Chains A and B, each alone.
Chain A
Amino acid sequence: MDGILKINHLSKSFGTHVVLKDVNFSVNKGDVTCIIGASGSGKSTLLRCINLLETPTAGEILFHEKNILDKSVDVNHYRAQTGMVFQSFNLFNNMTVLKNCTVGPVKVLKNDKKEAQERAMHFLTKVGMAPYINAKPGQLSGGQKQRVAIAKALTMNPEVLLFDEPTSALDPQMVGEVLDVMRTLADEGMTMIVVTHEMAFARDVSNKVVFMADGVINAEGSPGEIFSCEDNHTLKEFLSRFRNS
């Protein structure tokens, strides 16, 4: 198997509040892993630990067999290889759409500006945002912002893309446009870890689903296994909330 990420015994506490307890899972190249679970179960914290936006309390995160929690590892270099798409977009408000996409490649990866622009145009076209290159984030709708945020992450040429509830802040009619982009990326073989409440997306697009409850991985498996689970009470109850709505 072509392993990219391996998480071993990861724990995280905020003060005395234990949020993640001994979490283990691994991601191979081309995997689309969906993380589901109730609010407060630690999904965002797990994703933020993977990108080192939070510092884990214990455990290891192996990226190509190297523990990125070692003090000798260049955190910024690692972050540049793992893209992150936030619920609240986090586009740079002082830059145009195009500059949002090129600033990382130019300043962090030291890419040639022209080359970065070409790549940015390629991905902006892909997400259908090429006509808006001169707009500032404040002038875009939520769905448009999120599509730019995806293009921004892609322009860094990351090995893994992390999504933290990318559609939760969007109006219903905009959810589809973002999920369509993500579906295309998945089809093209992008390695993705997606925290989501969109069960249809998890079922149809992912090849692995991780169910979190109270800071531990309660169940994991193929979408088929997770969504037709009969013997796990917590999981069944969680899923039933989505069936009813």
Chain B
Amino acid sequence: MPDGFSQRIIYIIQNYWLSFLKGAGVTMVIAVISTAFGCLIGFAVGIVQSIPINKNEHIVKRILLKTVRFILGAYVEIFRGTPMMVQSMFIYYGIPLIFGIHLEMWPAALIIVSVNTGAYMAETVRGGILSIDKGQTEGAKAIGMTHFQTMVNVILPQALRNIIPQIGNNLIINIKDTCVLSVIGTIELFYTTKGIAGAYYTYFESFTITMVIYFILTFACSRLLRIWENKLEGAETYDLATTDTLAHTSGLAGIPKNLVEEYDNRESL
């Protein structure tokens, strides 16, 4: 082991770059997959939580809805109100005891982070749904849309604008917080670094490298997400449809020519 801070860092990188890379890879895979699953959980919970309970509905349906709502509410509160490190131990050692199945490290890691993210996303989605004007829901109800159709076609596409920044936040939080999975033995970036640092007692040097890696990962992700957000903002202008543009409008390509001419020639009211 050479003397001097920068020489040591170079030495560690030369010898252990592959381990760092693998650790960072595991961290990213867990963070990305779990954020995606967490979003799915969050959307599902958010949609179910926002089903209105109507007094006119059948009593069985009402009781069922209230029960489901209570369970989902408890899930959200419990997983937002306890540390993920404790949840990791709870799930990793609890599931085999309760269900009598052996839980591998990978599924355990993914379940823990997904379920945790889902709890946060559920609140975000619920807030996003509530932020949309009630008139939008009424407009959808008035043409006979079901709750699910209303959510998927009208409310969520509008709420997404408020939800996407939070998806990004959760991804970045997950990149950092996967390090708590080291308590169940997941060999991600933090666990890897601990091993390397312990070998030659180079904690400062090894964790300097890891700090830089974490920062590069989160910074790159937040930049990429910003670009994605800007793309989603969409076009702010529109073209008046004339016979020409009408024919080219993708959605209208199938409209018969005589219909287009009819509208073109006809006087409006």
Q: Which residues of A contact B (CB under 8 A)?
A: 51, 53, 55, 69, 71, 76-80, 83-84, 86, 88-94, 96, 98-99, 103-104, 107-108, 113-114, 117-118, 121-122, 124-136, 139, 152-153, 156, 180-181, 184
A209–B107 CA distance with the chains assembled, in angstroms: 68
Cβ-defined partner of B153 (8 Å) among A51, A79, A107: A107
- Chain A residues lying within 8 Å of B204, measured Cβ to Cβ, are none
Cβ-defined partner of A53 (8 Å) among B58, B142, B240, B242: B142
Given contacts A51-B142, A86-B139, contact A117 B252 (CB under 8 A): yes
A130 to nearest B CB, angstroms? 5
Cβ-defined partner of A90 (8 Å) among B138, B149, B259, B269: B138
- Chain A residues lying within 8 Å of B259, measured Cβ to Cβ, are 118, 121-122
**With A53-B142, A103-B143 already in contact, 19 other A-B pairs whose C-beta atoms are closer than 8 Å:** A51-B142, A71-B56, A71-B58, A76-B146, A79-B144, A89-B135, A89-B139, A99-B251, A104-B143, A104-B144, A107-B145, A117-B251, A118-B259, A127-B269, A130-B263, A132-B238, A132-B241, A134-B249, A181-B269
| Tally of chain B residues near chain A (CB < 8 A) | 42
Q: Which residues of B contact A (CB under 8 A)?
A: 54-58, 135-136, 138-146, 149, 153-154, 157-158, 237-242, 245-246, 249, 251-252, 254-256, 259-260, 262-263, 266, 268-269
Where chain A touches its partner, the secondary structure class is helix
- Chain B residues lying within 8 Å of A78, measured Cβ to Cβ, are 144
Q: Return the chain A residue nearest B57 by Cβ.
A: A71
Cβ-defined partner of B145 (8 Å) among A104, A122, A124, A152: A104
A132–B266 CA distance with the chains assembled, in angstroms: 15
Enumerate the 7 nearest inter-chain pairs by beta-carbon distance, A residue then B residue, closest first.
Answer: A128-B268, A90-B139, A80-B144, A104-B143, A84-B142, A79-B144, A76-B144
Is there an interface contact between B143 and A134, defined as CB atoms closer than 8 Å? no
Q: Return the chain B residue nearest A158 by Cβ.
A: B143
Given contacts A91-B139, A134-B238, contact A118 B144 (CB under 8 A): no
A216–B251 CA distance with the chains assembled, in angstroms: 48
- Chain B residues lying within 8 Å of A135, measured Cβ to Cβ, are 238
Cβ-defined partner of B238 (8 Å) among A94, A136, A180: A136
Cβ-defined partner of A79 (8 Å) among B135, B142, B266: B142
Q: Return the chain A residue nearest B240 by Cβ.
A: A131
Most chain A C-beta atoms within 10 Å of own C-beta, residue among B54, B146, B238, B246:
B238
- Chain A residues lying within 8 Å of B154, measured Cβ to Cβ, are 92, 94
Is there an interface contact between A121 and B149, defined as CB atoms closer than 8 Å? no
Is there an interface contact between B252 and A93, defined as CB atoms closer than 8 Å? no
B240 to nearest A CB, angstroms? 5
Most chain B C-beta atoms within 10 Å of own C-beta, residue among A91, A93, A96, A127:
A93
Q: Return the chain B residue nearest A125 by Cβ.
A: B263
- Chain B residues lying within 8 Å of A53, measured Cβ to Cβ, are 138, 141-142
B128 to nearest A CB, angstroms? 13
Pairs across A and B, CB under 8 Å, 26 listed: A51-B142, A53-B138, A53-B141, A55-B54, A71-B57, A76-B145, A78-B144, A79-B143, A80-B144, A86-B138, A92-B136, A92-B139, A92-B154, A93-B136, A98-B252, A104-B144, A108-B144, A118-B256, A124-B263, A125-B266, A129-B268, A130-B268, A132-B238, A133-B249, A156-B144, A184-B269
